[in-house]
Chain A
Amino acid sequence: MAKHRGRGVATINYPIGMNLGGDPSQALVHSNPTGKFTVTLSSIDLGQGMKSVTRQICAETLGVPVEDVFVDTADSDTGPHCMGSFASRGTHRVGNAVMMAAREARAVMMEAAAEELEVDPADLETDGRGAIHVKGAPHRSIAVRDVAIAAQFRQGRTIAGRGIFLVPLSDVDAETGEMTPATCYAHACFIVEVEVDDETGDVAVLKMTSAYELGRALNPKLVEQQLVGGSWMGMSHALYETPEPYYPDTREGPRDFNEYLMPGPGDICPHDVAVLERPASDGPFGAKGLGEMCANPVLPAVANAIFNAVGVRVNELPITPEKVLRALKARGGAVPARAR
C-alpha cells in the first residue's frame, strides 16, 4: 500500500461566442455634461468582471482615464439588447460593441474639441489622462471636461455613441457538418501532478502548470482570477462532482452541500500560469475569451495523471475513489509508469 505520483497533460482549444454566431450585443456610451462617461449595457456580470473589462475597453477607445468611465448593467428599460453572458462571449461580443460605441462618441468629442481649439479634428489626440491636445503641440490643449461642457451648453452636440457586434449566423450542412462555428479560438495546455493512494483510491492534486493563449489579456488580474478559479472547478469536475452519483441510475441524488461533494480549501494546490497573447483579428484589442475553456483541460489531464501514477484508466467522470479502487483491483494493483 503506497501513494504514487504521476503527471498528465491535455491540450485544448475553445470557440469564442455562440456556436454559428447570430448572437448580437449592443452598447451605448454617453458623456455627462462634465466629461464623465457611462457605458449602458444589458449584459450580466456574473462575477467574471464584465463591468470592469468593458470599462477598460471604453476608456482605452475614448482615450480617457478609466476612473472617468462607469458601466451600468443590466436594465431592460435603458440597456440595449445583449444575447447574454454565456458561451465565452462577453469580452469578444460586448467588448466589440462597446468599442464601436466609444469610437462614435470619441469622434463627436474630438469634433467638439476641434471647434473649441479652432483646429481640424484630425490634428488632435487624447493623452489618456483627461485632456485633448494638438498633435506635437501639447500646450494647445483642452480638458475633456471643458469639451463636454462646451458640447452640451454651447455647441449643442451629443457626445454619445451606439455600438453593435454581430457575427452573422452560419448555416450547417446536414450531410457533412460544414459550418462556420466561430471566428476565433483560445488555446491551452495544462499539466497536472497528482498523488494516488492505492489503499483508499483517493487522488490528491499536487501542482498545476498551464499555458493559456487568449488573444489579449485586457486585465491580467481578471484573467488570473478566471484561470485559477476555472482550474479548481475543472479539478472538482474531474474528481468530485455530480448530482447523479450512480448515473444513469437516478438514486442517491445530493440535496445540499453536505451531500454534494466538492473540494475544500485543503484540496487546492499551487497553479503556475503563463498567458500567451496572439490577437484575434476580430477581437477587441485582439481579445478572445477564457470564461469556459479554463476548466476543460483539467479533467482529462487529471485522468491522464492518474494513469501515469498507477496505470489505470478511468473513463467515467467523476473519478471517485470508488472507481479508482475498482480499476486498481481489476488491474491487480498499482503499476506506476516507471514499472511499465
Chain B
Amino acid sequence: MFELRKDIFADERDDNLKEIGQPTQRQDMLGHVTGTSTYYDDHRIAGLLHLKVLRSPHAHARIRSIDDAAAARAPGVKRIIRAADVPVNLNTLLSLIQFGKDDEPSLANDIVRYKGEPILGIVATSERAAIEALGLVRVSYDQLPAVFDVEEALKPGAPSVNATYPKNTFEYHGKYDHQKLRYGDVEAGFAQADVVLEERYQMSPIEHAPVETNGSIAVPDTNGRFVVYTSTQALFFSLDTAAKINAVPSNQLHFIGGTVGGGFGGKVDTMTEPLVILAARLTGAPVRYRFSRHEEMQFGAPRGAERIYVKDGVMRDGRIVARKVRAYFDSGAYTRLSSYAVVKCVAHIPGPYTIPNAHADVYCVFTNRTPATAMRGFGVTALDFALECQMDKLAVAIGMDPIEFRILNAYRDGDMKAHRREAKNCALIECAQVAAEKANWPLREQFRRMSSRIGGGADRTAAGVDRSRAPTPAAPARTAAAAPQRVAYERPAPPAPTPPPARGAPPPPPSPPAGSTHGAPRFSSVFGTRRR
C-alpha cells in the first residue's frame, strides 16, 4: 500500500500544479517492458574486436617477468596491450575535482596490489580467442606479504599496500590520516551520562549486482574521433577520465550512453572505457570490453567494508549527551572514491539527532583487496546501521520505547548540527509518528504532539551545554515545547494502545500561512485537531 500524506506540512506547499505529482507513465516504459530499449551492448558493429585483461592471481606480488610471446601468436589475437602502451597509466578518479593523488595504474607494471588487478590486455577477434590467449601468458611473481584487515593495516610494520600512500591511509588536509569531527566535549558528556555504551559494528563488502555488467564499445570515427557506447553512470566523468588516461583532447571522444541496466554506484569508476578506447586506437578497429559476471562480482569495485566503533553517553531521562565514533573505510588497494565517502560519513555523524557533544575520527585505509567504490548510501549506510542499532540498545538500556527515544532526540528546525550548520526543513519526528501510527505502534500523547518545527534551537543544541537545566526566561521560543522533553523517564509500563484517530472524514481546513500557526488549532489526520 502506498499513501501520500498531503495533510502534513500542507501549509508549506503549493499543490496547485498540473504535471508535477501525476503518476505519469515513464517515458522509457514501453521500451523497457518490450525489450527494445537500446543499451550500450545492443549496438551491432561489423568487425568488432574483443578485449579481455589478464588479472593477478595474487593479492600482493612483484611482477618479475611477463612472457606473452605465445599469446601474441595465438589464433585471432590482434594486439597485446601492456602497461607501457597506456599513455597516462597512473590516475585517481577524483583528480577531476582535484581531490587526492594519482595512485592507480590502468595496467600494473611492477607490483600487483590485489587479486584480480589487470596486468595486460589482449584484443582478439572473439572473446573466446582473447580468453584462450590469456591462458598462454606466463607471468612470474615474487609474492609479497599482504594485509586484509583495516586495523592491522594501520599497525607499525604492516605491509605497505599503495606506493602513493605508503602508510596505508589516505591523507586529509595534507597532514592527517583521518578526517576529524569535534563538537562540544564528549569526555565531559560521558562523565555526566547515566549510561555509557560502546559497541563495534562491521559491514562486509557488498556487490552492486546490476543486471547489466560494466562494459563499453569504442568505434573509430572520422576526424580521429571515437564513438564510445558505455554503461557509465556519469558520462562526462568517464569521458574526462578516459581522455586523461589516453592523453587525447576530450573532443576526440564522443560518449553515448544514458540507458543503463542498473548502476547503484558500481558504474562510476570508468573501469572499461580507457582501455577499450586505447585498444581501438592501437588496432584501428571497433573494440568491446565487457565484464563477465565473475569479473563484476570479484574485480569490479564493490561497496567497501566499514568497521565502526560507537560510544554513547545517555541520561536516564532519554537524552543522549555524547557520541563518539571511530570508523575505518576499507578502500582496497587504491583510493577510487572511498576518500570522499569518509568526509560524507563525518558530515553524517551523529545521525539525525541533536547531541551536544560529538566526536569522530574516520579513516580511509588501504588493504590488498579489490578497490572499493560508491554504492547506494555511500558513506552513510554502514554508519546508519551502527547508529540505529546503537539507538535500539540505548533505548533498552534506559527502559524507553525505541521510537519515543528517537523522537525525543530527533533534530528539529533551528538545532545546531555537529558540522556547525543550523538544521532546517526537518521531518524525522513526523516520519516516526506516521510510521508508528501505520504499524499500530503506540506512542504516548506528548510524543505524538512533538514537531520538527517547534522547540529547536537555542540552548537545546549549544555545544557542551547541559540540557537538563531549567530554561531561562530569555528563551521564550522553546519554552512551550521544552517541557515534554524533560519528562522524567521511569521504565514505562506497557503503554495502553491508543486507537488511531479516524482518518479522512473531515477535510482539512485551508492552512494559514507558515509562521502564524503557533498556538493555533490545526487539523491533522495523524493527531486530530490540536493546538500547536
Contacts and interface: CB of A to CB of B under 8 A. Distances in A.
B235 A211 contact: no
B340 interface: yes
A274 B258 CA distance: 31
A279 interface: yes
A321 interface: no
B531 interface: no
A211 B360 CA distance: 29
A63 B18 CA distance: 8
Interface of B: 1-6, 8-9, 12-13, 17-28, 32, 59, 97, 115, 148-150, 172-173, 175-176, 179-183, 199-207, 209, 232-237, 239, 253-265, 267-268, 293-294, 297-298, 302, 305, 330, 340, 343-344, 346-348, 351-352, 360, 367, 369, 374, 376-382, 384-389, 391-393, 402-403, 406, 410-411, 418-421, 424-428, 430-436, 438-439, 441
A232 interface: no
Contact of A76 (B183, B254, B263): B254
A37 interface: no
Nearest to B379: A19
Contact of A273 (B3, B24, B302): B3
B388 A11 contact: yes
A333 interface: no
A56 B12 contact: no
Nearest to B410: A11
B384 A296 contact: yes
B206 A42 contact: no
Given A14-B380, A47-B260, A278-B12, A187 B28 contact: no
A77 B439 CA distance: 51
Contacts of A188: 431
Given A15-B347, A19-B344, A66-B24, A178 B428 contact: no
Interface in A296-326: 296-297, 299-301, 303-304, 307, 313, 315-318
A317 B204 contact: yes
Contact of B207 (A56, A175, A212, A260): A260
Interface stretch (A115-123, A142-150, A158-166, A220-228): A220-228
Interface string A64-100: 0110001101111101011111110000000000000
A176 B180 contact: yes
B427 A209 contact: no
12 contacts: A8-B402, A11-B388, A12-B352, A44-B257, A45-B28, A172-B179, A190-B435, A254-B297, A260-B207, A295-B377, A299-B385, A316-B203
Contacts of B173: 172, 174
A291 B265 CA distance: 11
A219 B445 CA distance: 34
Contact of B377 (A82, A213, A296, A318): A296
B151 to A, nearest CB: 9
A303 B386 CA distance: 10
A121 to B, nearest CB: 20
Nearest to A22: B97
Contacts of B18: 59-60, 63, 128
B206 A242 contact: yes
Contacts of A300: 384-389, 391-392
Contacts of A20: 343, 347
A318 B305 CA distance: 11
Listed from nearest, the 3 A-B pairs whose CB atoms lie closest are A84-B234, A74-B258, A300-B388
A185 B419 CA distance: 14
Interface stretch (A103-111, A131-139, A195-203, A280-288): A280-288
Interface string A246-285: 0111100111110010100000001011111111110001
B262 A260 contact: no
Interface of A: 7-15, 19-20, 22, 42-47, 49, 51-52, 55-57, 59-60, 63, 65-66, 70-71, 73-77, 79, 81-87, 128, 172, 174-182, 184-185, 187-191, 209-213, 216-222, 224, 227, 230, 233, 237, 241-245, 247-250, 253-257, 260, 262, 270, 272-281, 285-286, 291-293, 295-297, 299-301, 303-304, 307, 313, 315-318
B205 A280 contact: no
Given A187-B428, A241-B209, A52 B378 contact: no
Given A247-B305, A249-B148, A273-B2, A299 B381 contact: yes
A177 B343 CA distance: 8
Given A191-B435, A191-B441, A44 B258 contact: yes
B10 to A, nearest CB: 9
Given A45-B28, A86-B233, A217-B4, A11 B431 contact: yes
Contacts of B202: 247, 315-317
Contact of A84 (B19, B268, B344): B268
A73 B428 CA distance: 35
A273 B265 CA distance: 25
B432 A11 contact: yes
Contacts of A316: 201-204
Given A12-B351, A237-B381, A57 B376 contact: no
B248 to A, nearest CB: 14
Most chain A beta-carbon neighbours within 10 Å: one of B302, B406, B425: B425
Contacts of A9: 392, 402-403, 406, 435, 441
A10 B2 contact: no
Contacts of B201: 315-316
A211 B176 CA distance: 40
A332 B246 CA distance: 61
A254 B296 CA distance: 11
Contacts of A230: 376
Contact of B204 (A185, A211, A219, A245): A245
A233 B232 CA distance: 21
Nearest to B434: A211
Contact of A241 (B17, B148, B207): B207
